[in-house]
């Protein structure tokens, strides 16, 4: 298994970790957020954190996520003046992605910086398919499906490489946020779908629709727009089964990320072995960011399947 960390961020930095928190810089603003895997002691003192952080997120005590809509919600405590929204960017080759960030009730701010390694992979894989490129150097007819797509960094990377992109998320406000990111990045043409991801992929499999790329980063739990219940351990096997039905057998890729519940990369391997034909190349990796003191914060595992 490989260990991967993004190398090209200028607008993001992991400053310190420890005490079940992380201290991060997004552009010019520094935020303190919960991080359950940072079980070691902080390198900086608490007073130093308080001095440089613009805002700190405090999570409410959760209950059963299957029964509570307020699970994992909390509040931001602002220590310095910080706008409700601001922008950062990420550049790689001819890709220039722009993100509008904001402080949400769930502690997310609109981007998962560790996923930049996947944005680069997506861009290279699609733009490197020379036989599918048009005169403008972009891939033609390359279809990508992004499930549980959130604000769509991966969707933007695929579109920047010239792919046809279907972006699926159960939250309309989040989808509108992703559309704003697309416009900021001077891109267009992404197909937006507000729907439960499992329901959508079931229908795509029945219709016989095919894709050259599938991206999925499923949460541990969630709700669809019509109240559909998603629990990772209950539904992920069916989800991967449908992925195997709609992913084209050649010139294709799948990226399967697992941060939820600390699932091992072996789980991803077993799911893929169960449902996909042999002969495809798969790569497993653990994502991480180092802080300024060199402690490597684990940020989930992934599996990439290519042919």
Q: What is the pLDDT of residue 116?
A: 98
Domain boundaries, the chain: 2-306
Q: What is the CATH number of domain 2-306?
A: 3.40.50.150
Q: What is the pLDDT of residue 269?
A: 92
CA distances from 59 to 80, 106, 214 (A): 19, 8, 32
Q: Distance from first CA to last CA of the chain, Å, rounded?
A: 19
With residue 116 as reference, give the H or E element that holds it: helix 116-127
Q: What is the pLDDT of residue 67?
A: 43
User: Would you call 283 helix, strand, or coil by DSSP?
Assistant: strand
Q: What angle do CA 247, 111, 136 make, to 5 degrees?
A: 55
User: Would you call 164 helix, strand, or coil by DSSP?
Assistant: strand
Structure tokens at 138: 């972009």
Q: What is the largest CA-CA distance in the chain?
A: 58
Pairing of strands 281-290, 2-4: parallel
Q: What is the pLDDT of residue 104?
A: 94
Per-10-residue mean pLDDT of the chain, 307 residues long, equals: 95 98 98 96 98 95 48 86 97 98 94 97 90 53 95 97 97 96 98 96 97 94 81 92 96 90 83 86 93 96 94
Residue partners of 56: CB distance under 8 A and separation at least 6: 31, 32, 33, 76, 77, 79
**Contacts by 57-62, CB closer than 8 A, 24 or more apart:** 57/31, 57/32, 57/33, 57/103, 57/107, 59/34, 59/107
CA gyration radius, the chain:
19
Q: What is the pLDDT of residue 191?
A: 98
HSE-CB at 175 with a 13 A cutoff on CA atoms is 18
Closest C-alpha to 273, from 231, 237, 300, 248: 237
CA distances from 16 to 30, 58, 60, 180, 300 (A): 11, 17, 23, 31, 18
- Residue 241 · residue 202 · CB < 8 Å: no
CB atoms near residue 55 (< 10 Å): 19
User: Would you call 182 helix, strand, or coil by DSSP?
Assistant: helix
User: Is 306 buried (19+), middle (13-18) or exposed (0-12) by CB count in 10 A?
Assistant: middle
Whole-structure pTM value: 0.92
Q: What angle do CA 142, 166, 268 make, to 5 degrees?
A: 85
d(CA 34, CA 172): 26
Q: What is the pLDDT of residue 133?
A: 52
């Amino acid at each position: 298994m490989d260990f991967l960390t993004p190398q090209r961020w200028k607008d993001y930095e992991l400053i310190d970790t420890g005490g079940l928190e992380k201290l991060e810089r997004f552009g010019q603003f520094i935020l303190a957020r919960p991080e359950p895997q940072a079980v070691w002691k902080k390198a900086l003192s608490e007073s130093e954190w308080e001095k440089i952080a613009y805002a700190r997120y405090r999570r409410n005590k959760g209950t059963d996520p299957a029964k509570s809509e307020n699970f994992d919600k909390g509040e931001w405590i602002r220590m310095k003046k910080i706008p409700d929204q601001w922008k950062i960017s990420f550049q790689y080759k001819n890709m220039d992605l722009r993100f509008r960030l904001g402080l949400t009730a769930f502690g997310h701010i609109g981007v998962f910086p560790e996923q930049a390694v996947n944005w680069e992979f997506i861009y290279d894989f699609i733009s490197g398919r020379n036989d599918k490129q048009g005169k403008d150097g972009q891939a033609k007819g390359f279809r990508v499906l992004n499930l549980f797509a959130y604000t769509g960094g991966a969707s933007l990377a695929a579109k920047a490489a010239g792919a046809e992109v279907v972006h699926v998320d159960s939250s309309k406000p989040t989808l509108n946020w992703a559309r704003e990111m697309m416009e900021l990045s001077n891109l267009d043409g992404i197909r937006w779908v507000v729907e439960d991801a499992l329901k959508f992929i079931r229908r795509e499999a029945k219709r016989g629709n095919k894709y050259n790329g599938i991206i999925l980063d499923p949460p541990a739990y969630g709700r669809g727009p019509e109240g559909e219940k998603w629990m990772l351990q209950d539904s992920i096997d069916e989800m991967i089964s449908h992925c195997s039905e709609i992913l084209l057998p050649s010139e294709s890729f799948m990226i399967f990320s697992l941060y939820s519940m600390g699932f091992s990369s072996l789980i991803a391997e077993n799911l893929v072995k169960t449902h996909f034909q042999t002969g495809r190349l798969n790569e497993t990796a653990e994502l991480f960011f180092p802080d300024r003191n060199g402690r490597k914060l684990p940020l989930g595992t992934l599996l990439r399947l290519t042919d």
